[in-house]
Structure 1
Amino acid sequence: MTAPSPCPCGTGKVYPACCGRFHDGRPAPTAVALMRSRYAAFALGLEDYLLETWYPATRPPSLDLDDDTEWTGLTIEHTEAGKAWDDAGIVQFAATWRSPDGEATLRERSRFAMVEGRWYYVDGVLG
């Protein structure tokens, strides 16, 4: 029997005890937890999860994830609100990736909203 893999989000926890439980349907308790689980979903190619956790008014009709992109790291740089008792939150992060074209870092200040007990990604400003 093989040990569970570490979660791609970088917490050091194993995937089933970290973002795997959110990918299986459990609601993320905070905006940061949703941010981490969305990063892990990008890393694992979980397009359906990304769309399901996107705020309906800003959700695109579909996503086209690049199979040649390997997500290599996530750093949470700053948070505002986003706790279980808040109705909104902000998470500023840096995500690194590697592709055939080289390596890069995406920096974003993301907005999240709590709707009926679930956190959703609303939108973000790059930079």
Structure 2
Amino acid sequence: MLHKFVIFETETGRITGTVTGSRRSVAHALPPGRAFMAGTADPAQHRVEHGRIVPIGLASKKSKERGLATRDARARRDRLLADSDWSQLPDAPVDRSAWQTYRAALRDVTEQPGFPQQINWPTKPGREESK
């Protein structure tokens, strides 16, 4: 049986198109980062939010707050990375491996399950004098 579906970006809820087909055929053809749901919508006027198709101008307060929290968390992460750039210089008197691990953990904070509301920020390694 054929149905009408909207295709949307899983991260943003932006509708990227509509399609008619079976659930199986639509699911099989989805590119990474996209999902689908039954229904019809105008991509210029609607988005998907919390599993529902909603008008773009009516984004929920919670969605806006999440956007601000995401922006702030990424800015903090970027500052911490910039503040630790020096640790990767060849003559930096530090445990380079520990700093690489710390910087990798900073880059991965956006992948944490509670991001952006609950972030387990990595601990900065202590400076060690070279011998």
* TM-score, normalised via structure 2 length: 0.20
User: If each structure's strand is expressed as a fraction of its own residues, which one has the higher value?
Assistant: 1
User: If each structure's helix is expressed as a fraction of its own residues, which one has the higher value?
Assistant: 2
* Larger RCO, structures 1/2 (Cα 8 Å, 6+ apart): 1
